[in-house]
Amino acid sequence: MYLDYAGVRVTDLRRAMRFFTAGLGLVEARRGRMRHGGVWVLLEDRASGQRLELNWYPAGSRYATPFAPGEGLDHLGVRVQSLAAAGRRLRNAGGRKVVYVRGRSGPEVEYYEGPDGFWVELIRSPSE
């Protein structure tokens, strides 16, 4: 198991992209659309390899909840070999499974909610 990236919620994707790419020098690695209409953009620092995921949620999405400036940490993405084993570990530590997603062409993932509403995305990666 290893920490893959941190996801942050943004209210204006174009403005956030400009800040993190032009301002911090991160480069876009991948981008996609969520089933509920949201957009995610994975950014990477070429020097360190560290990654940050920007998450924009449209009005009406259950994830488009109000938040104050500075409260935009959305979730941490963690790569695991076994969703079942990692899920048990989180449940035993007080976590609650919130969402399971089996993508057609993407990875199998589960989301868990921890203390204070903090979310962790488990991403199954058999080779890790």
pLDDT digits (tens, 9 = 90+) for 28-41: 999 999 988 999 99
**Does residue 126 carry a pLDDT above 70?**
no
Please indicate, yes or no, whether the overall pTM of this predicted structure exceeds 0.85. Answer: no
CA of residue 8 relative to chain centroid, distance: 7
Task: Give mean pLDDT, residues 56-74.
Answer: 88
Residue with tokens 């204006």: 12
Tell me how far apart the alpha carbons of residues 26 and 49 are, in angstroms, rounded to a whole number: 10
Domains of the chain: 2-124 (3.10.180.10)
**Does residue 4 carry a pLDDT above 70?**
yes
101 vs 56, residue with greater confidence? 56
Do residues 36 and 30 make contact, with C-beta atoms less than 8 angstroms apart? no
Q: What is the DSSP letter of 92?
A: H
